[in-house]
Amino acid sequence: MSRRLTIVLLLWVSAMTLGGCKETYRVGDHVWVIWDKKAKPAYEYPAYIIQVKENPRRYRVHFDGYEQRWDQDVQYDAIKSRVQGEVTNAPPPPDRVARAMGVSPKASSSAAPVSPYRQADRVRVKWRGSVYSATIIEIVGPDRVRVHYDGHEDAWDEVVEIDRVVGRR
C-alpha cells in the first residue's frame, strides 16, 4: 500500500472515530439545553426535542414550563446531555424571557412565582380529549403541577401544565 493511501485511510478512520461516535438525539428526547450562550452564567434548561432539522446538527426544542413562542432552533453543541430522572430545580428564566413575562430579571432569580393551586386541591384535568378527576400532589412550578388521577394507579401520576387543569371540583 502506498504511503499516501495509508495516510488517507488513517485520516478517514480518525474522522469516523472522532465525529461518528457523537450522540444523536431524536424527537421526544428530554435534554438539557443552553438557552442563551451569551448570558452569564449560561444556564442549562430542561427541554424536549420537537423536531430534528434536515441538518442532523440542528434541533428544534421546547423548554419545559415555557410557552411555545420560546421554542427555538439550537445547534448540537447547545445540547449538553439527556435529562436523567425528574427536574426539580430549573434555573430562572433568561433576562429577555423574564422581561417578556413582566418580571424583572433580578427578581426572577430570587422570587419564586406562586401557583394558583395548592397541594391536595381536587381538580379536573384534560387528558387526550377527556376530563378526569385528579388531586394535586405537588406544586412543580408557577405553571405546572403534579397530579394523581383519582381511581388510577400511581403510575399514571404526571406533571401537567396549568392550562390542562380545567378547574377545581
One domain, residues 97 and 140:
no
Q: What is residue 114's predicted lDDT score, i.e. its pLDDT? A: 67
Same domain flag for 40 and 71:
yes
Instruction: Indicate whether 102 and 73 sit together in one domain.
Output: yes
pLDDT the model gives residue 37: 76
Residues 53 and 96 in one domain: yes
Indicate whether 94 and 131 sit together in one domain: no
pLDDT digits (tens, 9 = 90+) for 37-87: 777 767 888 899 999 987 768 999 999 888 888 999 998 888 888 887 777
List of long-range contacts for 22-28, beta carbons under 8 Å, 24+ apart:
22/76, 24/56, 25/49, 25/52, 25/59, 25/79, 25/82, 26/52, 27/51, 27/52
Domain that holds residue 139: 122-168
Judge if 88 and 154 occupy the same domain.
Answer: no
Give pLDDT, residue 107: 47
Q: What is the C-alpha separation between 58 and 67, in angstroms, rounded?
A: 21
Least confident of 7-16, 72-81, 95-104, 157-166: 7-16
The label of the residue with cell 424583572 reads 104
79 & 144 share domain: no
Q: How many CB atoms lie within 10 A of CB 93?
A: 24
Predicted local distance difference test score (pLDDT) of residue 109: 44
The reply to whether 133 and 87 lie within a common domain is no
**105 and 28, same structural domain?**
yes
Domain annotation covers residue 59: yes
Total number of domains in the chain: 2
Q: Which of 64, 82, 110 is the last residue of a domain?
A: 110
95 lies in some domain: yes
Domain-ending residue, one of 110, 133, 157? 110
* 41 & 70 share domain: yes
Residue 124: CB atoms within 10 A of its CB come to 14
So what's the pLDDT on residue 87?
Answer: 75
CATH number at residue 36: 2.30.30.140
- Angle at 83 (CA atoms; ends 148, 47), nearest 5 degrees: 85
Asked if the structure places residue 164 within a domain, the reply is: yes
- CATH number reported for the structural domain that contains residue 126 in this entry: 2.30.30
C-alpha span between 131 and 35 (Å, rounded): 34
Confidence at residue 108, expressed as pLDDT on a 0 to 100 scale:
44
78, part of any domain = yes
> Which tens digits make up the pLDDT trace of 137-152?
988 887 888 999 999 9
- Other CB atoms within a 10 A radius of the CB of residue 136 amount to 22
